[in-house]
Amino acid sequence: MPTATPDNTAALAFISRWRSLTASELSSAQPFVIELCELLGVPRPHPTPEQDYMFERPVTFAHRDGTQSAGRIDCYKRGHFVLEAKKLKVASHTKGFDDGMIRAHAQAQGYMRALPSAGSAAARRA
């Protein structure tokens, strides 16, 4: 780990705190994002009727057979990002880690496709 300086002490403390955490994804994803937002000096996710920046943003998947299913995005900011948190039980820089990240990326892409388009009536209501 790099040496602490006045400019990076908070960042190093954040890394140290989260590096070896063994808690579940469910119990740690939201506190991680909140602390990261505080470290970066940006607003935290917050629930709004517009669902534009929040944890657990609901989405509806439309399947080819005409059925639908529900999903939830771990953290979402309209026009900016979809965050899919994962707690992997393998070390980084391993094939298992890479595979887990590829699956998380594919899951996030599925969420993006399930979101209503910007001009749709559903997007204006969401």
Q: Are residues 37 and 60 in the same domain?
A: no
Percent of the chain with pLDDT over 90: 60
Q: Are residues 90 and 115 in the same domain?
A: yes
What range does the domain containing 113 cover? 46-126
Q: Are residues 40 and 62 in the same domain?
A: no
Q: What is the pLDDT of residue 35?
A: 94
Q: Are residues 126 and 87 in the same domain?
A: yes
Token digits of residue 111: 């969420």
Cα distance between residue 14 and residue 58, in whole Å: 29
Cα distance between residue 15 and residue 23, in whole Å: 15
Mean pLDDT estimate for the chain: 86
Across 42-48, average pLDDT: 93
Q: Are residues 32 and 71 in the same domain?
A: no
Q: Are residues 8 and 27 in the same domain?
A: yes
Cα distance between residue 59 and residue 38, in whole Å: 27
Q: Are residues 40 and 56 in the same domain?
A: no
Residue pLDDT, tens place only, 68-97: 999 999 999 999 999 998 877 777 788 988
Domains held by the chain: number: 2
Residue pLDDT, tens place only, 20-34: 777 777 778 999 999
Strands 53-62 and 81-83: unpaired
Asked if 37 and 50 touch (Cβ cutoff 8 Å), the reply is no
Q: Are residues 28 and 51 in the same domain?
A: no
